[in-house]
Structure 1
Amino acid sequence: MHALKSCARAALVTGVAAGALVSAVVAGPQAAQAGTTHAAAVTSHIVQAGGEQAGGDGATSGSPDTLAQIAATLPKVSPQDVLKLAASQVGITENSYGGGTKFHEWYMSSPRAQETLARDGGTLSGYANAPWCDMFVSWVGEQLGIGPVMGSDAYTVTHATWFAEHGRWGDTPVPGAVVFFDWSGGDSIGGIDHVGFVVRDNGDGTIETIEGNTGDGGAVEQRTRSKSYVAGYGYPLYTAP
């Protein structure tokens, strides 16, 4: 396994940035199957954690019904749309300071950055070279117009908590799920270190993923990961199958 990088404390604006591509993203007939599999698997395996919550940090927060109402106003986006965009970013690398990507630039210019600064402290410039795995995930959702139902943050723990608060947290890997890792092998949200997207479950104890801020040089890469490092999965409320 390549060097393990952590994005867990990026939102605190004090952290510093902690191979080869594998098979291609699901396409063709597999893509159609993945869409129906996603819906069925999420329905069967979501953990209904929490209900109506007081947000307090600027993020959309509340019950699954709240997300459903929001989703009805958003563009039609499927898991495969997200994976296609994520895969198109493979190869983008950070600079020698651990930042400088378009994902940093976007996050710093977004309203969400002001909200997370108010929550966590620090300075806006501190995001410029901060760990960026969750900035990448958030950027993908925002580019496709489904940020409100994918969540947006620079801090993996808070992002995972957001999924749980909306009843969209579970333990089943499906294409397009947001996968959260704990490099110590735990399953507590508080121990999460890193995040990416699930491409597929390989059926052998591993999953195929697309992640930002990964590898020895800090890049967007397609990876194969052991499920033993997975703390859980967040399920965006996709607006198309």
Structure 2
Amino acid sequence: MGKASGILRVAAAEVGYLEKASNAGLDSKTANAGSNNWTKYGKWYGLNGPEAYWCHMFISWCAAQSGNAGIIPRTASCYNGKDWFAERGRFHLRAAYTPRAGDVVYFSTRQYPNGGGHVGIVEKVENGYVYTIEGNTSGASGVVANGGGVARKSYPLGYPSIYGYGNPKYEQEEPDMTEAQVKQIIEKTKEAEQYNSVEECPAWARPTIEKLVQKGYLQGDEDGNLELSFDLMRNLVINDRAHLYG
């Protein structure tokens, strides 16, 4: 299982890629540019050429390159992709959901309604807009479902052509500590050389220490004091967040 930040890094690096006029120069961003739907994403998927509309192949490729292949479907069909998320209870209609970074956004078009027309990756949500990275589109406003390149786009959250969102089950990412939390940790370290109970530990460490005490991995002295140094406590938390303790 990968992270949303991983797929976004991969997708962002592809912005500016142009589809090719023929089966040549596929790995170059701009060489042999044309309008025949030849791409490195289609080469990877196994479907290339004039009829190989590649917006979802791009999404699937980004997922595979970022360690997210198991939580985002490998498909060339927006309908199949949408249904894949729905079958797992991870698809949300636009009106009932606030998207998150890393979500897969499905668009309706006149020819392909109900989320079957186009697809992109949500990069961020800000000030009432959803910002995306999309393949087989262009920088023109609105949904461009066969535009020939990878581009960043933006839409109001209520944009009618947004049908809904697939929400991949990414690995949870720990939020950065605030400046106040960092200062609190430093002050606590100055005040005491050791932490003798779960309650004395900083809030960010308590779940880990409590888990290890309950499992019997951490045992206090004869008076029940844990005698945890700050460095040991920090290393235990790092290991726990790496899922080493189950």
TM-score under structure 1 length normalisation: 0.56
Name the residue aligned to 1:137: 59
Q: Secondary structure of the residue that 1:200 maps to in structure 2?
A: strand
Is 1:175 matched up with 2:101? yes
Q: Deviations over 1:136-169 (max 9, x none)?
A: 0000111122212111100100110000000001
Structure 1 stretches of 4+ moved >3 Å: none
CA deviation after TM superposition for structure 1 residue 200, in Å: 1.5
Matches within 5 A, 1:104-183: 104-108=42-46, 127-129=48-50, 130-170=52-92, 171=94, 172=97, 173-183=99-109
Residue segments in structure 1 that go unaligned for 5+ positions in a row: 1-73, 109-123
Q: Deviations over 1:59-92 (max 9, x none)?
A: xxxxxxxxxxxxxxx4xx2111111110000000
Partner residue of 2:162 out of 224, 230, 237: 230
Matches within 5 A, 1:181-196: 181-184=107-110, 188-189=114-115, 192-196=116-120
Larger mean Cα displacement after TM superposition, 95-104 or 161-170? 95-104
The 1:183–1:203 alpha-carbon spacing in structure 2 relative to 1, beyond 3 Å, is farther
Superposition RMSD in Å: 2.1
Going by fraction, where is helix more abundant, 1 or 2?
1
- Identical positions, percent: 34
CA deviation after TM superposition for structure 1 residue 99, in Å: 1.8
Return the letter of the residue paired with 2:44. W
Matches within 5 A, 1:1-241: 74=1, 77-95=2-20, 96-108=34-46, 127-129=48-50, 130-170=52-92, 171=94, 172=97, 173-184=99-110, 188-189=114-115, 192-204=116-128, 206-215=129-138, 217-226=147-156, 227-241=159-173
The 1:203–1:229 alpha-carbon spacing in structure 2 relative to 1, beyond 3 Å, is farther
CA contact (8 A) 2:35 2:148 kept: no
Higher relative contact order by CA 8 Å / sep ≥ 6: 1 or 2?
1
CA deviation after TM superposition for structure 1 residue 240, in Å: 3.6
CA deviation after TM superposition for structure 1 residue 187, in Å: 7.5
